[in-house]
A and B are shown apart, each in its own frame.
Chain A
Amino acid sequence: MKSHTYDFKGSDLGTLLGWPLVLPVLLAAVMHLGAAWRLLPAPRPILDIDRTILIHQAEASRLRHGADVVFLGDSSCLMDFSAKDLEGWLPPDHRVLNLATLSYVDLPACAGLLRNYVAANPDRLRVVVLLLHPEMLRGIEPVPQYLAWLQKFYDGADACDPNTVSGRLSCLLGFDILKGRLLSRVLPVPLAKSYGRYYGFTTDLHRFLTAQQGSAIDPHQFVPQPGQGNTEYRLSAKMETAGSAFRSALPPGAQLIVGITPSPQSFVTADYPVRHLTMLADWSQCLQADGVLADLPPTLPDRFFASTTHLNEAGAQLYAKILARSLRQHLR
């Protein structure tokens, strides 16, 4: 007995499946031509928390801000204090901007942000504070994708991923152009879990960063548990090399001040405060720093932390005061 018969022609199938493809193909052409002829706005793919912060800081580094004190560093520098609060604790003629990022980009990328800022704000910069968590001094490699995102943003290029089939297809169909240039400007993306609860959406986080002069808050709460990380902190040789290259990005007349952000008291070993001072001394030496924030506490009570590397909101408020007190001594 026959199973089934096909009561249509091959051309019917072609029409049914073919016609719906016309619109996507047309859109792909429009997107590529729009991008090539610069009819579309520049790429600004604030599509998740990492890219929102990265792009905010890259944009902020290119704006006329007028800050004379600029912070650079890792996510602990981003999260451990509010630049706005800190400014309030400093003498009134100082303006502060935080250009640290959540996704760790290496020191050359930080130097790039600094160069942008100097170009956009000539003769303004007086102090550059480089704040890193001891975790980063081990010379952790940055995620190549983060560096690629930053570079593509500078180049005005769309975020195509040529390494996967779906990435190539997305690129070919103009989806990266559509998402990065248009959708990201009109459609806020919800953030997940605690970040979502605190900030809501990418655009709201972007607004928060602008209001806090580049700083953010880690909304988590640290709960000490075994096996949360390696506390054998040390300064890697790689960081020493990268540090001296960073120094060269400073404009003449600006001083470089370095500091190390705190760790939870219960997390580190008893000898850590001594190691902290040694690392700070070595780190400042290889950077040829003009000043060292040696009186910053190496540890704080656990209740002030969101994670092993970030302070929480209460911790950030406290740390802004401590940081301001320490920094005042270096401001001319």
Chain B
Amino acid sequence: MLFNSDTFLKFFGAFLLLFYLCRNDLRARNALIVAASYFFYGWWDYRLLSLLILTSLLDFFVGIGLERADLSRKRKALLCLSVAANLSLLGFFKYYDFFVESMAASLTRLDIPFHARTLNLILPVGISFYTFQSMSYIIDVYRRQISASRQLVNFLAYVSFFPQLVAGPIERAAHLLPQFDRTLTITRPMLEEGLWLILWGLFKKVVLADNLAPLVELVYQNPAGSGPMVVLGTVAFAFQIYCDFSGYSDIARGTARTLGFDILFNFNLPYVATSLREFWQRWHISLSTWLRDYLYISLGGNRQGSGRTYFNLLITMLLGGLWHGAAWNFVLWGLWHGGGLIVCRFWREWRGSRPGLPAIIAWPITLLFVLYGWLLFRAGSFEQICLLTGALGNWSTPAWLKSYLINLIVFTLPLVGMELWQAKAKHLLAPLALARWKLALLQGLLLLAIALFWEKDSTPFIYFQF
């Protein structure tokens, strides 16, 4: 079920009514959330609900086991069991076909006959998100940073909470799980915030991202095109993926807010970053902090010298790239960012206490680096990456450049305007500080644009495929 569909509007309307009826019974509320979340997930393919339930049940009982176990060896074994089971499910459904095909291609190149037996598995939507969320819980319990949950329904609700189930933010148990244990108060400011985030998120998805998508397609379906078009197409993609994904996160956060829950911010003006490190502190925050806390630090972080730190960075980003999808261009994208982070770190260490580059130079360098990364991310194959990169040297332009620019400006300007405002106000919810009539006017404009561009056949969010 997509947020930008008529079905979700009906579902959420019905849910709000039932949620209201459960207001005097916390258990009933949490059971309702689990039932609704499973309905929300099962709407897409009910068979794959079993994976979600399996992951949840396994981690619930392993969590209790971890808390009860005193022996370090036993605790480690339980942790390994959970991590291995989670990663096996993720690996099998997401990466099996990819690795088999890649192996077959490599062996064929070496003239070794190999019959690839791919299974053409359906990728369970959101599996990367809920697996990481559930794993973070287990690791936190293992590290004794949180207590294991004893309430099965609450834990099921934590793993499957429908606003953020299929595309994040990847929540932390310490933040979300306690909210299922207590009475929530829904206030007017929370409703205002929720409504604003839903409208702004839908605007970013339905109006901006979905109208930028064909502009990206125009360029990437013709990779041997012209340099200016590759640049413009990549800029369009940078905005599209940002609007698409941050739009989802905003709707998720807004939806949760109207129910009295608080979920994490996932984006914080990433394109204003003046270094790659800062970009990753602002982009897909829930994933980058997950990778930092559970992978980079587990590998040793920066505690074992420069060489090992660089290696850890590279491995973390490579796996972060692979997390996005079973394709070599995601691996390359991860390596690109890993390499970039190594250069940034080396630069920081080399300059020591001397001042860094001024923002006016650092910002465009960072942006260009990120943009080329998006080219690697969006391209379908190595061949396409080579063609697109080669096309950068061809400075001819197509006859439809003017139409392209008009569209690009129309569908990026609202975001640029809003982000400049948010950056100036140093507050992501800056519009909520407006006078009530001004806010209503702005919301009316967003509503109008959403309704105008609302498609009956809604376009899925890009991050659903991850």
List residues of chain A with CB under 8 Å of any chain B CB.
1-8, 12-13, 15-17, 19-24, 27, 166, 173, 175, 178-179, 186-188, 190, 192-193, 196-197, 199-201, 203-204
Contact = CB atoms under 8 A, between A and B. Distances in A.
A4 B218 contact: no
9 contacts: A19-B443, A20-B195, A20-B199, A20-B443, A20-B446, A20-B447, A175-B452, A188-B406, A190-B218
A22 B29 contact: no
Contacts of A1: 25-27, 183
A193 B221 contact: yes
A188 B215 CA distance: 11
Contacts of A15: 436
Contacts of B28: 3
A8 B28 CA distance: 22
B403 A4 contact: no
B407 A4 contact: no
B410 interface: yes
Contact of A178 (B214, B444, B452): B452
B409 to A, nearest CB: 10
A1 B181 CA distance: 10
Best-buried of A23, A173, A186, A187 by chain B (most CB within 10 Å): A23
Interface string B338-368: 0000000000000000000000000000000
Nearest to B449: A24
Contacts of B259: 4
Nearest to A6: B186
Nearest to B216: A190
Contact of A23 (B19, B25, B185, B445): B445
A199 B400 contact: yes
Nearest to B454: A166
Given A4-B184, A21-B447, A200-B404, 17 more contacts: A2-B24, A2-B183, A3-B28, A4-B185, A5-B185, A7-B185, A7-B188, A8-B191, A19-B440, A20-B447, A21-B444, A22-B440, A190-B215, A196-B218, A197-B218, A200-B218, A201-B403
Contacts of A193: 221
Given A20-B443, A193-B221, A200-B218, A3 B404 contact: no
A187 B410 contact: yes
Nearest to A186: B406
B187 interface: yes
Contacts of B443: 19-20
B184 A3 contact: yes
B452 A179 contact: yes
A68 B19 CA distance: 72
B425 to A, nearest CB: 21
B444 A22 contact: yes
B448 A23 contact: yes
A199 B401 CA distance: 11
A4 B400 contact: no
Contact of A188 (B398, B407, B456): B407
Closest 5 CB pairs of A and B: A200-B400, A23-B444, A19-B440, A3-B29, A201-B403
A23 B400 contact: no
B217 A200 contact: no
B395 interface: no
B459 to A, nearest CB: 13
A201 B403 CA distance: 7
Given A3-B28, A190-B214, A24 B448 contact: yes
A32 to B, nearest CB: 15
Interface in B418-453: 436-437, 440-441, 443-448, 451-452
Contacts of B260: 4
Best-buried of B24, B186, B260, B448 by chain A (most CB within 10 Å): B448
Contact of A12 (B188, B217, B221, B399): B188
B222 interface: yes
A75 to B, nearest CB: 22
B262 interface: no
Contact of B403 (A2, A23, A24, A203): A203
A197 B221 contact: yes
Contacts of A197: 218, 221-222
